[in-house]
Structure 1
Amino acid sequence: MITGLDHLVVLIEDIQAATAAYETLLARKPSWKNADDGAERVLFTLDNMTLELMAPSGDSVAADRIRNVIKIWGEGLASICFRTNDIAKMHRRLDRLALKPDPIVEVDSTDALSGATMHWKRTRAATDLTRGVRMFFLELGAERPVSAATADSAVLGLDHVVISTEDPERSAALYGARLGLDMALDRTHQEWGQLMFFRCGDLNVEVVKRPVAGGDAAHDRLWGLSWRVADIEAAHARLLAAGVQVSEPRIGRKPGTRVMSLYSGTCGIHTLILERTARTA
């Protein structure tokens, strides 16, 4: 039913600054820009998903709603959207699972630069039933244009999106049993906590229960992103030269990976850059 991760939405206040930051981080140009319904949007489309930057625009109820969300929750990851090849069937499944989906709507978007138009159909599950994570489901009419690379060390795609939870059993039931994602890994470590990986196309949804207690047991949170590159040393050198604060590459927790942490240039999102070695490629 779910065929992959379609896109993630990042809410920000300054669309120009955020666009510049992600042009640097990803080493790619935006693939789509448009403004409507009280928001400006800039899309970066990679090999396996799209990152959508969204900022309030103008004076309207919709724009004020976005500003209010940013005021309450801050900038950062705001929603996740899964891809499906049959939105009607997906809607029926969500309804049977008592996730109270919104009615299916059809949406058009026109690129401000090229004049091209995209069309899709989408629905949204009730947020109070998806453990506080805003969750959409989308059937895209045609593939989006891919963002052009500006360096050989450009980010290829997303390796995993991290969701933080205080109730791993209920989260596992949501992403595995109810949404039908295949659990690829369930591991507990004294220092890292419990890690669960759910396959979603060629990337993973990672659900993490950290060892430090005290969070909201009823609500999960979109927490971080791990971007995939072919050569982590080249990406490290490129980001350092651009003035991004970044750690030295190190062996990743997942066997067969090397990672580095970014400390700036991410719009406040916890971010890793990851290289898969031959073992996991």
Structure 2
Amino acid sequence: MAAASKKPFRLHIGVFLAPAVLVYTAVMILPLFGTLQLSLFRSIEQVQTFVGFDNFRTLFGDPNWSFNFWNALKNNVWFFIIHMLVQNPIGVMLAALLSSPKLRFTAFYRTAIFIPTILSFVIVGFAWKLILSPIWGVAPDLLGMVGLKSLFTPWLGKEEYALTALSLISVWQFVGIPMMLIYAALLSIPEEVIEAAECDGVTGWSQFWKIKLPLILPAIGIISILTFVGNFNAFDLIYTAQGALAGPNYSTDILGTFLYRAFFGFQLQVGDPNMGATIATMMFLIILIGVCFYLFLVQRRLRRYQF
């Protein structure tokens, strides 16, 4: 009986999974362990020598390294906060509007909002740099058309505004992703739940806040952790718009650009692969801590809202 009840091993599952596992291992897992290993070595007389955690002591103890690291981390946190407070709430509101059965041309609106997400970072960075240029940009004229030209300032050229401006540009480009994910979550709510709410007289925005929003909290949680991981891996937009030096005066420097300069070098700065790997390891640990916090604390509380 025991032999008869034993489930047969399904070999075809392993066959189908093997190519994806091999590619993921070659592209992601092996480079990750290689980076972790490189962070524990240092080039001494052109020979890679094991130094343990000395590179981390240098990163946090040497003022030349620690100042740039904490500055980049602070900017990265602000970059993430802007996305959490602006991008995701706007995405939720847009999804709520597009899910309304009374709204016409929803397919057109969804496409128009989502199109920027498929554009190249290079195109977005250079296009917005031209738009916001005080010399040949169209932003001053557009603000002048509505009587707000006095508010214009070279946002990308001022330390106090540059990072926020780039964060909002990134929000404009990627707001379509949370919008579509929340839109799909709203469509998956059972019709019986909506009909019961309508029978109780809960309609319109009241229905969204009291019924729909609690039911899509798990989707909002997933979007939040994806935003966290994406923002702490960010690099392309800052590099395209402000260059590797992340000007002005490193005010837009984030961990990705700091890693790039440390690993590959820039202008007169010589690259140090070991210190670059150390910074990459710190980025990995920050992301790992954030993901674990979500999985073990936040997700457990959100399970009660799943249906």
TM-score when scaled to structure 1?
0.24
Structure ranking higher in strand proportion: 1
Structure ranking higher in helix proportion: 2
Report which structure shows greater RCO (CA 8 Å, sep ≥6): 2
TM-score when scaled to structure 2?
0.23
